[in-house]
Amino acid sequence: MTTVRELHGTVALAQVFASARAQGRAAFLPYFPIGYPTYQESLAAVAAMADEGADGFEIGIPFSDPIADGPTIQAATQVALENGTTVRKCLDAVRTLRAQGISQPMLMMGYANPLVAYGTDQFVRDARAAGADGLIVPDLPPEEAAMFADSCAREGLALVFFLAPTSNDRRIEMVARHATGFIYVVSLTGITGERAQLPTYLREFIARWRARTDKPLVLGFGISRPEHARQVSKLMDGFIVGSALVRAGGEGVAAVRELTSSLRRAL
């Protein structure tokens, strides 16, 4: 039986950030693609991360041309596609995870083409029905997001937009005006992937963004180690780990659990 959740969508996300803030830490929102290394193992990986205290999830929808993703996630999503993972299968995964008792917010993370092909309104309705709380679409700028934004607003789902170190004041203000749930802050220019250290200019950029919005700021790209989590937790409302967990997923669910545990303990 599907878990009954009192809070959904933007309200559920707001509660996550408020709870983490009350504990003096950032919210931990890991990414994992459905279908890698197999469909069942991807569900088991998300369940393991939930057990270890992840605050919410980016549920990855595999796509053949993931332009924002580095080699680790590109390779994993290609495997997922070869395993027959579709948009509908990813929605089924959320529904199954809810039925297993996982209550943390889940955001569907995927590129625009498959979602448009599915049907924007239909996808948002089906995502809400499956138990998703929002969308993250890396190649969807606010200027072109009206169809998604209207559908998400009707269903109460978050629609997350991105800021990068290259974002000027006008872009910051536009993203702050249109993003719901939180703003995804890209820590560096380029693609996703593990880095040895985070950029030294991060604190300066975050101060500039915070001066222009009170919406939660969630950092992604390059975060892979417990020391990164500790550093980010002092600056951000939340952070995302993707490539490091996907790499661990190739080693098995136990490796995902171990890395998740070390990241969560670092907070």
Active-site residue, 58 included: yes
Q: Torsions phi, psi of 32, nearest 5?
A: -155, 135
Active-site residue, 126 included: no
Residue 48 token pair: 């393991």
List the catalytic residue out of 41, 51, 52, 58.
58
Task: Give how far Cα 219 sits from Cα of 42, 147, 229, 259, Å.
Answer: 23, 26, 10, 18
List the catalytic residue out of 6, 51, 55, 69.
69
Instruction: For residue 108, give the 3-state DSSP assignment.
Output: strand
Which residues face 33 on adjacent strands?
A: 60
Does residue 109 contact residue 159 with C-beta atoms inside 8 Å? Answer: no
| Look-up of token digits 């290259």 | 166
Task: Report how far residue 209's alpha carbon sits from residue 213's, in angstroms, rounded to the nearest whole number.
Answer: 7
In this structure, the number of other CB atoms found within 10 A of the CB of residue 153 comes to 14
In terms of C-beta density within 10 A (0-12 exposed, 13-18 middle, 19 or more buried), how is residue 204 classed? exposed
Q: Which helix (H) or strand (E) holds 185?
A: strand 183-186
Q: What region, left, alpha or beta, does residue 252 occupy, with left being phi > 0 and alpha being psi -120 to 50 degrees? A: left
Residue 263 token pair: 């990241």
Q: Which residues are catalytic?
A: 58, 69
